[in-house]
Amino acid sequence: MAKQTDTSAKSRKGTKSNAFTQILNGEFLTKSFVLDNLNYIFFIMLLLLLLITKGYYGKQLNKDIDAAQRNLDQHSAEFIEAKARLELVTRRYKMAERLADRELKETQNATKVIRIKAKKHE
């Protein structure tokens, strides 16, 4: 019984190494199993190629998103800076000082709006 176990273990080990050597030598490609399933093998290779392509495409999309975010941040900062400059320039007392050269003065009275109601034509 012990001899049978030893021989079966050796034969399993031999087939594993034999299969490994067949893969290294390329003998397994000549077998009918591989030749019969060649379409399936090519399909699997195509799927692997698509998987790799998808990874590169995802990295490119991430780069584009990061660049767009940086660009948006830069434009937002420029907008805030321009808005702050505009508020500084158009402050009420500064406007009054600049208009003093033209002899224009700020009114002290509140502005009144006159609205005319449109008549309905009969």
Please tell me whether residue 26 adopts helix, strand or coil conformation.
Answer: coil
What pLDDT sits at residue 82? 96
Q: Which residue has the higher pLDDT, 30 or 112?
A: 112
pLDDT band at 10 (very low <50, low <70, confident <90, very high): low
Q: What is the tens place of the pLDDT at every residue in 17-64?
A: 687 887 788 777 777 777 788 888 899 999 999 999 999 999 999 999
41 within 8 A of 34, measured Cβ to Cβ: yes
28 within 8 A of 34, measured Cβ to Cβ: yes
pLDDT band at 118 (very low <50, low <70, confident <90, very high): confident
Where are the chain's structural domains?
1-30
Supply the mean pLDDT for the chain.
Answer: 82
What pLDDT sits at residue 47? 97
CA 53 to chain centre: 15
- Taking the C-alpha atoms of residue 82 and residue 44, their distance in angstroms, rounded to an integer, is 57
Structural tokens at position 74 = 């830069």
Q: Which residue has the higher pLDDT, 112 or 19?
A: 112
* Dihedral (Cα; 95, 98, 101, 102), 10-degree rounding: -50
